[in-house]
Amino acid sequence: MDADYDIFEIVAVIRDFWLVDAESYQRKYCTNHGQTLAPGYYVVNWPEHIRARRFNDHAAFHGPFKFRKEAQVALEWMHKTRELLLTRFSEVSSAAALNATPMEVKKL
């Protein structure tokens, strides 16, 4: 799995340390706590700075959800929340830049 993938993905954990990704490939996974995940659907996300989207200790697994549709609703909520935060951050940054002195802008 490479950097072209979205920051969020729905996967199905099928057994210990194995999942099925969004493209229907079976893949091994690991968690940052070393424990297996319960079978079910998960929304996985990665930090922005992670270029190679692998199912390793950088991945955050949210779930389990019993049905894929439940995971899809969670994924949509996560996308909306992320967009809202990015928009607000952009607005705050723009407002701060407008109120900044030329020397403060140069520092940014």
Per residue in 8-65, pLDDT (tens digit) is 999 999 999 999 999 999 999 999 999 999 999 999 999 989 888 899 999 999 999 9
Average pLDDT estimate for 87-99 = 65
Domain range summary for the chain, segments of one domain joined by +: 8-107
DSSP string across the chain: --TTS-SEEEEEEEETTEEE-TTS-EEE---TT-PPPPSEEEEEE--TT--S--SSTT-EEEEEESSHHHHHHHHHHHHHHHHHHHHHHHHHHHHHHHHS-HHHHHH-
Whole-model pTM over 0.85? no
Does 108 have pLDDT greater than 80?
no
Residue 14: per-residue pLDDT: 98
